[in-house]
Structures are given as structure tokens and as C-alpha cells.
Structure 1
Amino acid sequence: MEYQFSDRVSNLKPSAIREIFKYAADPEVVSLSAGNPSPEAFPAKEIAEISARILSENPISVLQYSVTEGYTPLRQHMMEYMRSNHNTGSDSDDILITTGAQQIMDLCTKALVNEGEAVICEAPSFIGSLNTFRAYNARLVGVTVEPDGMNTDELEEKLKANPDAKLIYTIPNFQNPSGVTMSLEKRKKVYELAKKYGVLIIEDNPYGDLRYSGENLPNIKSFDTDGIVIYAGSFSKVISPGMRVAYTIAPKPVFQKLVVCKQGNDVHTNIWSQVVCDEFITKYDFNAHLQRLRDIYTKKADFCMELLDKYCAPEITYNRIDGGLFIWCDLPEDIDMPKFCKDAVLNKVCVVPGNAFLTDERDECHSFRINFSTPTDKQLEKGIKLLGELIKSYNK
């Protein structure tokens, strides 16, 4: 039978990262390609305790259908937490619990973007979100990411050139893949431009609690007196990605449409996961847990950057990071980046080619992304040493 696929998916390609995972499955290959939390980071004991208590005392509460908006106590607690700790969310907003932050991008695109309309994204940006926008036949418009965030002059040029733009998508804290944090000045400028040109902002912040150094910066959503920012938060990097629990704080009219779209998507997010997250953040010391994660990732990030300096300099360069899970590495311009990444796999180390994160994968790119949270210190040193040996072999 000849299969006819919809226009929405006919041109979609598998995720480059997921494809690389196939190579990483080889036990001899050091994977610096994943974005998984460290095995040390999971509160497995606490999750087991909470789950046992729930299933013993009130099992039907997590085995029955639930409401689309999300588990009410979790919604209330997260709205209170975001307001008191991050000045984020107002009486004009509401909060929706979603099945991972990926679903937020899906629901927002479905609700707000018509086929062919523009979504303005950082370049590079998170491949999962880019593919979601592509799945709805949105037209991706890239804006260069600088060491202090999105180039706001270029952003305004792209807004002028694309009057049909519906969304500006940004990851302002420890951006995936670049590791860059947007400056306060640029956060305010992005908000001003969105307001000026009548475009909504999706502020994706899965890594904001994982700051190792420097000063915490306010969320763009904290400036939102005009109802133009949709905030996306997640428990994936601070509790568990496998539980698939995230949340979005959105203006009430947008929230209402997202709820309708979610009803046709998955009815509601896994209720057991929601209850576990609520119990963990309210009955355990969540702030102490976050500090433990920062301690873990501070050591791993510092070690990774020391290894890059030791084995890969001066051929491979990078910008130092203040948080998150990723480092964006730049090759000399005379080195073919896709070839380097393929040669790396043949030499038993996996990295992600930078063009996978571009709005147009055909654009020239001399960068690749590495992740330091998942591998052990021994694996990390072996993998980065292999990268260093590979890049130096090109000059022989």
C-alpha cells in the first residue's frame, strides 16, 4: 500500500538527538549528547515513599480520571510559589498542568498559530520546540543568539519583516543548546518589542532553578502587565523527566483555549505524577533539594569546563556557563562540523551537531552541543579527551 501522509508531517524528520541516541546505546560509546538529569539528582526515595502512602491511603484518587486543568492543590501551590518566589503570575493569569513542557509548545501552536504564520525563535534553539512548530506548518524565523541572549536589533528587523508573526519563543535562562542567559536589559527589550508589534512571548524556563553562579534575573513574565507572556515551567529537570509534569501560566483567555486543546489531546496529565510532585514540593524540603541539585551540577559543569580547557583548547572554544546542563562548543571555521560529529561517533563519543538546533538546518554552522549532566566523571573525561584528540588530529 502507498501511504499518503498529511502535509503537517510529510516533511518532518526524526529528531537528530533521538537518532544519535541509537549510536549512544553502544556501551563503548561515551554519550555527551543526551540532556538527561544526573542519576544522582533523582529523589527516588521520596517518590517511593509518597507513592506508597498514596496507594495505601487513597489509591482511587490517582487511578481515576481527573480534570483537564490539573490537580487543584498542585495548581494552587505552584501559582503561590511562582508569585512569592519569582513575582510571576497575576490575577489575570491562570495555570494549566501539562504533560511535559513539550505539550505547552504543542497546545500554544495549535491554539494560536495558523499554517504558514511565523514563529520567531532563537537561533540556535531547542529542537523539540522547533519540531513542534514545524508540525503545525508554522514558518520559523531565526534570530541570532549572542553571549547575552537574543539579538534584539535583529529581532525587531524580523518582526517588521514578518507582520504575521504570532509568537516569540525564547529560553532566557541557560538556553538549550547554547547555555546562554539573556541579560536583564534584553529581557525588557524583548518584552517591549513584543508589545510594540502585538506578538505573544513563550518564555520557556526548564533550567531556571539550576543556577550555579551569578545573580538571579527576573522572568520576562514578571514584567507582564499587558497579558502577552505565556510562561512554561517544568519538573523534568528538578524532580523527574519521566513523570512528565509541567505547567504553564498564561493570560486567562489563552489558558481557556489551551484547556480545550488539551481535552482533545490527552484529557489530562497523569494524576499520580501530579500528586507526587505536589506532595514533594509541599511536604519535603524542596529548596534544600534544589540546592543539592545545584551542588551536583556545579561540580559537573566546572569539571567539564576544566576538561575542555585541558584537552580541547585552543581549537575548540566555548562560552562559560552559569547554570543549566549544556555547553555550546565552537570549531574553527575551516573544520567541517558535520564531518567532525560523524568522526566523533566513529571514535566512540557522541555530540549533537549544531545545525540540528537551527530554524533552517541548511544554514552554515560550526558548533556542536555537549551535555555534562548524564555521564560519570570518568566517562566525561574519556569523551572530552577523545574530542580533543580528534580535533588535534585534523592539523597533522
Structure 2
Amino acid sequence: MNYQYSKRFNQFTPSMIRQVLVDAAGPDMINFSPGFPDRESFAVEEIQKLSQEVLNDSIYEILQYAPKPAYTGLQKAIKTFFNSLEPVVKESDDIMITSGSGEGLEMAAKVFLDEGDYMVVEDPSFIGALNGFKSNNAKLIGVPMDDEGLDLELLEQAFQRKPQPKLLYTIPTFQNPTCLTTTLERRKAIYELCKKYHVLILEDNPYGTLRFKGTSVPGYKSFDDARIVIYLASLSKIISPGIRLGAIVADKDITDHFAIMKGASGGAATNWSQYVITRFLNTVDMKQHIKRVSEIYQRKSTLMVETMKKTFHPDVQFKAPDGGMFVWFTLPDKIKPESFLQAAVAKHIAIVPGYCFATNYPSQGFRLSFTSESPEQIVKGITMLGELTYELMNQ
């Protein structure tokens, strides 16, 4: 039978990250491609203990359908946790629990965008979000970034186009894939442009708590006086991705619409994870827990960057991140990204080229994850990549 797939589906291509893993596969593969947290960061004993407690105390509630889209106890715990970091949740806001932050991004596209509507994204940006937007037939306008964040002139030009974009998607802190943090001055300028042109901001903050040096920068939501920011956060990077829990913080009118959309698709998040993470947030010293996770990532990040300094060709550009999970490097124009990727894969090293994350602008960049490999594999893999930079520069 010849299956007739939708036009929407046909716009997608197979995941480059998945294909790189297939091509680089082997018993000696060094995997710098996934954005997976380090397993050593998981609070295994606490999760085991709290899981048993909630199974003993609330077994029937956990096994039953959830009576509401979100467990009230978790909403309260998340509000307390978020607001201990910065003033995220305001009096006019509500908190919606999602199955990871990706669900919130897709729902935002469904709730706010009609067929063929435009939205603005950072270029490059998180491929999972871009595909989620495309799956809802959104038209994406990529705006490049400099060292301080989105290019303001090009951003305003994007907002002035007709039909006017409705949404701006941004990862302002330790951006995926570049690990760039938008400065406070640039954030305020971007926010004022969004108010001027009546554009809603989707502020995605999965990495903001993973800072291991420097000073925290206030998020858009913390100074949102016009109620135009939809704040999305995930607990995947600081507790566990397997729990599949995220949260949306926005004006209650917005979350009410999101709740309707969620009811039409997946319903409520899993009861078990909501109950366990409620207890986790209420009983674990989150400041100390985040400090421990950040220290793990700082050690690995430092090791990767210092090895790059020793082994990469001096014309390759990169800098040490202040947090997050990635290092971004840019090849000189002489080296074709496709050639570098092929050479890395031939050595069984999985890396992700920047053109996977691009919308409108070509990229000489590559993303490296320092979280999923051992220190020994980091040194080995980065040293081999460094040798490749010299080989290809000398060709």
C-alpha cells in the first residue's frame, strides 16, 4: 500500500543528530552530540526514597487519572522554588505543568499561531523547538546574534515585516546550541521592541540554574510589567530528564487556553513524577543540590575547554561557557563544516554541526556537549578533533 503522509510531515528531514550517531556508531564511539545530563548529577538515593514514600502514602491517587491538569502541591512547590531564584511567578500568573518544556513550546504555537503565521527565532536555535513550531505550520524568521544577544536592528526589521510575527522564541541564558547568555541591557532593549510591536516572548530557560561562574542575569519574566512573557522551564537538567516534567508560567488567561489545548492532547502529566518532585522540591536543599550539579559541569567544561586550547588550531574560535551544558566552536572559512563532520564521524566521534540549528543564516559552528562523556573520553575525543583542525587547515 502507498501511504499518503501529510504535507506538514513531508517538510521534515531525518534528525541530523540521530544520523550522526548512526554514522559514528561503534564500540569506541565518543559521543559529544546529546544534550543529556551527566548521570552523576542525578539524586538517585533521594528519588528512590521519595518514590517509596509517595507509593506508600498516595498509591491510589498515583494510580488513578489525575482530577486536574496539575497537582496543586507541585504548583506551590514550583512557585516557591522559582521565586527563590528570581521573581518569576507574579500575582496575575498561573503555573501549568507539562511533560517537559517541549510540550509547552508546541502548545504555544498551537494556541497563538494560525496557518502560515510568522514567528521570530534566534539563529541558530534549539532544533527540537524549531521542529515543534514547524509541525504547526509556523513560518520561522531567524535573527542572528552577536556576543550580547539578538541583533537589535535585524530583530526590529523582522518585527516590521507584513504579516507581522506574533511570537519571539528565545533561550536567553546559556543558549542551545551556542551557550551564549544575552546581556541584561540587550534583554531590556529586546523586551521594549516586543512591547512596541505587540510580540509575545517565549522565554525558554532549561539551563539557567546551571551557572558555575559569573553573575546571574535577570530573566525577561522577572521584569515583565506588560504580561507579554510566557516562561518555560524544565526540571530535566537539574533533577532528571526521565521524570518528564516542565512548567509554564504566564498570565492566567494564557494558561487557561493552554490547559484546554493540553486536555485535547495528552491530558495531565504523570501523577508519580508530580508527587515525587513535589516532595523533592519541598525536602531537598535545592541550593546545595544545584551547587553540586553545577560543580560537576564546571569540572567537565573546564577540562574540555582547556584541552581545546591545547589541541585546536588557533584560527578556530571558541570561549569557555559560564554555565549550561555545551561548548560552541566556529571553524575558519577555509574548513567546510561538512568535511569536518565527515572526518570526525570517520574517527567515531559524534558532534553536531551548526547548520542543523540554523534557520536563515549559514553556520561554521559546531556544538559539543561536555556532560555525557567521561573525563578520559573528553580528553581523547577533543585531542582527535584538534588534530583534524590542523589536518584540514593544511590541505
Q: Do these two structures clear the TM 0.5 threshold for a shared fold by scoring above it?
A: yes
**Residues 153-205 of structure 1: CA distance to partner in whole angstroms, max 9, x if unpaired?**
21111111244311100000000000100000111111111110011000000
Mapping for residues 334-353 of structure 1, pairs under 5 Å: 334-353=334-353
Aligned residue for 2:123? 123
Aligned residue for 2:327? 327
RMSD: 1.3
**Contact in 2 for aligned 1:147/1:319 (Cα 8 Å):** no
**Residues 73-122 of structure 1: CA distance to partner in whole angstroms, max 9, x if unpaired?**
11012123323431112121111000001001111001011121111000
**CA shift for structure 1 position 243:** 0.9
**Contact in 2 for aligned 1:315/1:392 (Cα 8 Å):** no
Q: How has the CA–CA distance of structure 1 residues 309 and 258 changed in structure 2, closer, same or farther, with 3 Å as cutoff?
A: same
Aligned residue for 1:2? 2
Aligned residue for 1:389? 387
Give the partner amino acid of 2:246: A
**CA shift for structure 1 position 364:** 2.5
Q: How has the CA–CA distance of structure 1 residues 328 and 68 changed in structure 2, closer, same or farther, with 3 Å as cutoff?
A: farther
Aligned residue for 1:139? 139
**Residues 225-272 of structure 1: CA distance to partner in whole angstroms, max 9, x if unpaired?**
111000001100000011100001011111111001111111111111
**Residues 272-327 of structure 1: CA distance to partner in whole angstroms, max 9, x if unpaired?**
11111111111121111101011111111111110110111314221321100011
Give the partner amino acid of 1:51: S
Residues in 2 aligned to 1:162 and 1:306: alpha-carbon distance in whole angstroms: 47
**Contact in 1 for aligned 2:238/2:290 (Cα 8 Å):** yes
Aligned residue for 1:42? 42
SS in structure 2 opposite 1:230? Answer: strand
**Contact in 1 for aligned 2:174/2:208 (Cα 8 Å):** yes
SS in structure 2 opposite 1:177? Answer: coil
SS in structure 2 opposite 1:242? Answer: helix
**Contact in 2 for aligned 1:355/1:365 (Cα 8 Å):** yes
**Contact in 2 for aligned 1:68/1:262 (Cα 8 Å):** no
Aligned residue for 2:249? 249
Aligned residue for 2:286? 286
Aligned residue for 1:379? 377
Give the partner amino acid of 1:232: L
**Residues 4-62 of structure 1: CA distance to partner in whole angstroms, max 9, x if unpaired?**
12222121122222332334552211011111011110111111111111112321121
Give the partner amino acid of 1:218: P
Aligned residue for 2:192? 192
Residues in 1 aligned to 2:202 and 2:46: alpha-carbon distance in whole angstroms: 32
- Unaligned ranges ≥5, structure 1: none
Mapping for residues 154-233 of structure 1, pairs under 5 Å: 154-233=154-233
**CA shift for structure 1 position 209:** 0.4
Residues in 2 aligned to 1:261 and 1:21: alpha-carbon distance in whole angstroms: 34
Aligned pairs, number: 394
**Contact in 2 for aligned 1:68/1:269 (Cα 8 Å):** no
Aligned residue for 1:101? 101
Give the partner amino acid of 2:373: P
**Contact in 2 for aligned 1:232/1:247 (Cα 8 Å):** yes
Q: How has the CA–CA distance of structure 1 residues 149 and 217 changed in structure 2, closer, same or farther, with 3 Å as cutoff?
A: same
Give the partner amino acid of 2:101: A
**TM-score normalised by L of structure 2:** 0.97
SS in structure 2 opposite 1:333? Answer: coil
**CA shift for structure 1 position 68:** 4.6
SS in structure 1 opposite 2:215? Answer: coil
Give the partner amino acid of 2:370: F
**Contact in 1 for aligned 2:313/2:390 (Cα 8 Å):** no
Give the partner amino acid of 1:375: E
Mapping for residues 26-105 of structure 1, pairs under 5 Å: 26-105=26-105
Residues in 2 aligned to 1:319 and 1:353: alpha-carbon distance in whole angstroms: 17
**Contact in 1 for aligned 2:300/2:375 (Cα 8 Å):** yes
Q: How has the CA–CA distance of structure 1 residues 246 and 67 changed in structure 2, closer, same or farther, with 3 Å as cutoff?
A: farther
SS in structure 1 opposite 2:194? Answer: helix
**Contact in 2 for aligned 1:15/1:128 (Cα 8 Å):** no
SS in structure 2 opposite 1:59? Answer: helix
Q: How has the CA–CA distance of structure 1 residues 372 and 167 changed in structure 2, closer, same or farther, with 3 Å as cutoff?
A: same
Q: Where has structure 1 moved over 6 Å in runs of 4 or more? A: none
Residues in 2 aligned to 1:26 and 1:152: alpha-carbon distance in whole angstroms: 45
Residues in 1 aligned to 2:68 and 2:165: alpha-carbon distance in whole angstroms: 29
Q: 2:368 aligns with which of 358, 367, 370?
A: 370
Q: How has the CA–CA distance of structure 1 residues 288 and 162 changed in structure 2, closer, same or farther, with 3 Å as cutoff?
A: farther
**Contact in 2 for aligned 1:300/1:372 (Cα 8 Å):** yes
Residues in 2 aligned to 1:53 and 1:21: alpha-carbon distance in whole angstroms: 39
Query: Could you tell which deviates more after superposition, 267-276 or 3-12?
Result: 3-12
Give the partner amino acid of 2:371: S
- Unaligned ranges ≥5, structure 2: none
Residues in 1 aligned to 2:25 and 2:378: alpha-carbon distance in whole angstroms: 16
**Contact in 1 for aligned 2:25/2:348 (Cα 8 Å):** no
Aligned residue for 1:359? 359
The share of aligned pairs that are identical, in percent, is 38
Indicate whether 1:297 and 2:297 are aligned.
yes
Residues in 2 aligned to 1:32 and 1:286: alpha-carbon distance in whole angstroms: 28
